[in-house]
Structure formats: structure tokens, C-alpha cells
Structure 1
Amino acid sequence: MLSNKLRKLKKTIKEIDKIHRSNDDAYALQFILKLFPEYSYLPFTPFSLNPFTILHILNDILFNDRKQILEFGSGISTIIISRFIKINNLETKILSFDNNEGWLKIISKELEKYNCSESVNLVHSELSKHNKVTYKKYNNEYWYDLNEVNKNINTLTKKIDLVIVDGPSTDTSNYVRYTAIPVINEMLSKSYCIFLDDTKRPYEKEILLEWNIYLKGNLRYQKVYGTITKGDNFSTNPLSH
């Protein structure tokens, strides 16, 4: 009897949480759509960052004066962020990696349509097996091609002060996204913010915790994503719950 009531309570709490997240996304989308011409269609998919997450990123770019963004997993976020950079006349640059070449062609076309491609460098990088022990804490042997990633990161003229990790997919390992921070750690600025999507899943939540043990930053779990900040940063969460 008691167990049935607990199950019903958990289900109710979960449903209420979904309603809250939907409201947050609707709130965020109102601001995001103002960046685009009237009647524009933004191609959100089940794999896209939530609008609220993207709004948080936009706040962080503006208030903390981010100059170099590194993104693993290109998508709607790339389009919105680049448009935000264009509209606000920012000097911010984006280096974005994705392993799906066809998808990158779609993103590139959207960037051109909204005249905001100049701030973005889209890089196609296939997933490949690597032997770096420090990059595979959970025996995740696949990640973006390290030669391709390092080659492009080494061309950056500024330190990385904003990282967005929403890829690759977890087809090869539940912990495949862990590799991102060990690879780029030496290129991080003194002041930065890292966004990791999908922390509603236990694996991403654990990855973020492991990163923070390594980085010794300020970790915060949101509803569906998490952040690590370090250095002098303004709080940029769009809403206080």
C-alpha cells in the first residue's frame, strides 16, 4: 500500500518537473526568437539543447565577455549562438566539432541563411579509437579524431573560455563525453564556464562530477544540464527557482 503511494508520488513529481521545464523553455524561446527575422523556423530536434540551456549560454557569453567558444556537437545551439554574436556585434568565435558530415552541411546552410557564418568554424571529425589512458577513465575508447581536434585547437589565438559538450552520441560508450575536458584542459582560460548537456542521465552527471574533481571549479546541476565555472564570473542563470 505504502509502496504504491510512493510510486504515485514519484510519478507526480516527475510530471510536475516536466511542466516546469516546459515553462522554462517557453520563456527562453521568446527571447531566442527575437534574434531571428519574423516567421523564421528553427530546427529543434530531440537531440538539441533545450531553449533554456541556450539562453543560459547566451547570458554567459554576454555578461562574462566570452571570446572563444569550443563546442562538441553542432546543432541549433550553433545557429542561435552565432546569430546572437552577429546581432550584438561581438568578437566571439566558435569552433564546433561534429562527426556527422551531412548534419554539418545542414547547419552550414542555416548559418549562411541568417548571415552569421563568419564567427563559426565547423569541423567534421569522425569518431576514432584512441590509446590515451587519461582520456578513457571508463574505458571509452572512441571520441572525435584527436589529430583533427588538436590541429584545429592549436590554431586558436585565444584561450577557451566557454565549452559546450552535447556530443558525441553515447552509441560507443555511456561515458564517451568524458574525454572532452582531459583533451582541452591545457587550453582553458583562467576564467571559463563548461556546459554539459543531458545530466538528467546518471552517466553525464558522473562525468561532470569527475571533471570538477579534476578542475576544482564551481559545479552546479540544473534540471537537464550542468555547469562548471572557474575564475571571476557573474552568475548568469536566466531564472532563480
Structure 2
Amino acid sequence: MDGSLQHAVADLAAWQRLAPLLSDYLPFPPESLSPSGIVAFLDEVLIGDRSVIVQCGSGASSVLLARLLSRRGFGRLLALEHDERAAAFATSQLRRERLSEVARVVHAPLAAHPAALSGLHWYEPSVVFEMVTNFVERNGLVDLLLVDGPPSASRQQRPDLSRYPAMPVFRGALSPGATVLVADADRVSEQAVLDRWAREFGLRFHHDETARLATATVRI
């Protein structure tokens, strides 16, 4: 079975597993976390007993996680989203489903950031600092970080390290034993970011080729 067919079969199986959470229609644009990636994300929340979750990027996965946390009865999500329309939709959907106390999607436009490399932009520093500080003060240290944004600054086959700032920015807010999930781990840019994080932060990533995720545990 070639890679594309394997991913398609895995996503079909993932849709079946997600069925209990698909109460309302949600948009799944091409850049969304794949169904198999969402399943791996939700599995980590449940099996890892994660309750303080930050997501770089947002979308259907944010709403599905909010539904899951609400049914489970505990847990909070903060998602940073660079796209104003996407952030507005997610916020509106969470409000309609009365999930605003469980999850919050914040519009954080891309801007110059001191942790970014090669002049690339990341989420606006003051927005991130304020939102993450308040989130941690209310809920405790983050025990699950999903890095699924911002989008790559280049579509060329060379690394651009757009997602690199996530670890420098969030490292101090992560609890010992926290899980770091990185989407699109099969892409050149994300692989370069993972290699750099491994060197600088001592993270050892396990790759799930089917879900296209890389997973690491934060050590003390």
C-alpha cells in the first residue's frame, strides 16, 4: 500500500472514530489537521489525562476537542489563530455550542517576534504573552502543546523554521511530563524545526507517519 492510500484509509477509519463528536457540520480546509491527526490528538488528551492544552493554529480540531472536554467534564483549551476569519468562526461556533468556558480561540496576527529566525513572523508577542500568562495563572502549567501553525512561509522544498518559536516561547509554561505534538511532521520545514528543538531542548520525537505527527515528552 503506497503512502497516499495508507493515509486515505487511516483518515476514513478516523472519521468513524470521530463520529460521536460530529454533531454539527464543521469546515475542513486543506490545511486542517487530518482526521487521523485529530484522533491522535484526542487520544493523547484522554490517555495522557491532559487538561491544560495550548494549540498553535485552530480549526475543527479545536471545536472537536472542546466537545470532548465538555463531555469529559474537565480540561481547558487555548488556541492561537493568525487568520482573523478562522478565529471568528471558531469563537462563534464555541459560543453557539456553549463551549466558551471550555475553549478559547484568540486572534493573534503574525508579526515580528524576538524568538523567530531569519526575519520570519510568528504570533504577535504581546497577544501571546497576555493570553498564555492569564491561561496558566487560571489553569496551571500546560500539559499538552499542539503545534499546527502558523503556516509555512514558503512552499519551496527547503526549511523556513516558521514554527520554531513555539518551544522557546512555551518552554517555561510547560509542566514536567508535558506532551508536545507537532503536525505536518513529514514536511521539510517541520523536520528542520524538530531537529533544532531536539538539539536545543533535549526533546526526543517519535514519528507517527500515518497521522503525520511527531510526539515528544518534556523532561524536567
TM-score, structure 2 as length reference? 0.88
Is 2:217 the counterpart of 1:229? yes
Would you say the 8 A contact 1:35–1:87 is kept in 2? no
Aligned residue number for residue 237 of structure 1: none
Q: CA deviation at 1:166?
A: 1.1
**Corresponding residue for 1:105?**
88
Structure 1: any 5+ residue segments left out of the alignment?
1-12, 233-241
Q: Secondary structure, in 3 states, of the residue corresponding to 2:21? A: coil
Correspondence for 2:191: 205
Q: Secondary structure of 1:195's partner?
A: strand
Q: Give the distance between the partners of 1:215 and 1:161, measured in 2 at CA.
A: 16
Give the alignment partner of residue 29 of structure 2, picking from 45, 49, 52: 45
Residue 202 of structure 1: how far off its partner (Å):
0.9
1:140-182 CA distance string (max 9 Å, x none):
4311111110111111231011111111112378211111110
Over 3 Å counting, the alpha-carbon distance change for 1:205 and 1:51 in structure 2 is: same
- Distance in 2, matches of 1:41 and 1:105, equals 16
- TM-fit CA distance, 1:129: 1.2
Which sections of structure 2, spanning at least 5 residues, go unmatched?
none
**Which secondary structure does the structure 2 equivalent of 1:25 belong to?**
helix
1:140/1:195 CA distance change after superposition, 3 Å: farther
Could you tell me which amino acid in structure 1 is paired with residue 196 of structure 2?
Answer: E
The CA deviation string for residues 15-36 of structure 1, in whole angstroms up to 9 with x for no partner, is x111111111111111112123
1:168 is the counterpart of 2:147 = no
RMSD: 1.9
Counterpart of 1:147, as a letter, is S
Equivalent pair of 1:196/1:225 in contact (CA under 8 Å): yes
> Deviation of residue 42 (structure 1)?
2.7
State how far apart, in whole Å, the 1-side matches of 2:34 and 2:60 are.
10
Aligned with 1:144 (options 123, 144, 154): 123
Q: CA deviation at 1:231?
A: 5.0
Q: Structure 1: how far apart are the matches of 2:17 and 2:71?
A: 13
Q: Which position in structure 1 is the counterpart of 2:51?
A: 67
- Contact 2:56–2:79, Cα closer than 8 Å, also in 1: yes
- For structure 1, which segment, 109-118 or 142-151, has the greater mean C-alpha deviation from structure 2 after superposition? 109-118
Q: Is the 8 A contact 2:14 2:39 kept in 1?
A: yes
Matches within 5 A, 1:1-241: 16-37=2-23, 40-89=24-73, 91-130=74-113, 132=114, 135-136=115-116, 138-155=117-134, 156-157=136-137, 158-171=140-153, 174-223=160-209, 224-231=212-219
- Aligned equivalents of 2:19 and 2:93: distance in 1? 15
- Structure 1 Cα separation of the partners of residues 59 and 146 of structure 2: 11
Confirm or deny: 8 A CA contact 1:140 1:175 kept in the other structure: no
- Normalised to the residue count of structure 1, the TM-score between the two structures is 0.81
How many Å separate the matches in 2 of 1:169 and 1:127?
Answer: 10
Please name the residue that 1:239 is paired with.
none
Q: Deviations over 1:67-118 (max 9, x none)?
A: 21111111111011111111222x2111111111111111122223433232
The one-letter code sitting in structure 1 at the alignment partner of 2:162 is: V
Contact 1:140 1:176 in 2 (8 A): no
